[in-house]
Amino acid sequence: MRVIRVGTRKSQLARIQTDTVVAMLKALYPGLQFEIIAMSTTGDKILDTALSKIGEKSLFTKELEHALERNEVDLVVHSLKDLPTVLPPAFTIGAICKRENPCDAVVFHPKFVGKTLETLPERSVVGTSSLRRAAQLKRKFPHLEFKSIRGNLNTRLRKLDELQEFSAIILATAGLQRMGWQNRVGPDILGCFFHQGALGVEVRAKDQDILDLVGVLHDPETLLRCIAERAFLRHLEGGCSVPVAVHTAMKDGQLYLTGGVWSLDGSDSMQETMQATIHVPAQHEDGPEDDPQLVGITARNIPRGAQLAAENLGISLARLLLNKGAKNILDVARQLNDAH
């Protein structure tokens, strides 16, 4: 029986996410066997430095890509938000699975359960690994202090519960749900983020056999939304070192894209929304045959026109923000982040 080797990070959440993808593949290909190979990445090892300070775009992917390159694994399952918008040319995202809740959640220290961010005491410390989350929330909750917190989900929750350093931490709702920890989510309703809640399957760009194997996992709506988000972020050159946010919604054949940039302290910001008419196929259709990659994604079973429309929407919104002065906000944010 043929064995397909699947790479993943070692954390419990990463394993749960990988098991989910492997279960879908097993259902589609009962004649194949799947072996999961877990490894640690740079981002898993460097836990004493804020993500925005490390200066490495492939923090959670590089070691897994090396394994792909050396043919030690056939595919890798990632949280899509960990994948840079520009991939090394040897790799591509061969599948984007149906997205779960893309929003942020607040988890409170046990002594503050029942509180909201608004009602936390003055100078309470809120932990987050994201510059974007801190910038957005500083503006809304000036009575709070925000501090970097690193580690996988288990580590961050343990730091919250056992140390007296944090009153609350901000996490991705989808991760908490996948771990079965929905009961820890506080009442605050926060925004949604680039690719959050979506899983991506990375493969070798020239491995047509594996591309065909995983391509059936593409969820057409999630795929088109993520193409727009990645195009927006790539055109803005957004990453971990600048506070950039983007969110999409699909309604009545319209793809709505909302993007924004913030200064590090949240005092200066700019946000815009654009929309485009995009046909989302109810099922897989014939797509492009030649070099079909867009923003690092290969989807031969989704019409090329829909993919290009999504990419153009992302680029158009980024250009609109840049024309209105977003570059200055981002440049200052990068300089301040580098200086601290």
Q: Mind telling me the catalytic residues?
A: 82
Helical packing angle, 304-323 and 326-339, nearest 10°: 80
Parallel, antiparallel, or unpaired for β 75-79 and 199-204? antiparallel
Q: Cα angle vertex 150, ends 48, 50, to 5°?
A: 60
CA atoms within a 13 Å half-sphere pointing along the CA-CB vector of 278 = 33
- Could you tell me which residues are beta bridge partners of residue 262? 269
Radius of gyration of the chain, Cα coordinates, nearest whole angstrom: 20
H or E element in which residue 106 lies:
strand 104-108
What is the rounded CA–CA span in Å between residue 318 and residue 272? 9
Neighbours of 127 (CB within 10 A): 23
> What distance, in Å, lies between the first and last C-alpha atoms of the chain?
54
215 neighbors 300 (Cβ within 8 angstroms) = yes
Neighbours of 42 (CB within 10 A): 14
Q: Could you tell me the strand order of the sheet in which 75-79 lies?
A: 33-39, 3-9, 75-79, 199-204, 91-96
Structure tokens at 95: 């599948």
Neighbours of 158 (CB within 10 A): 12
241 neighbors 334 (Cβ within 8 angstroms) = yes
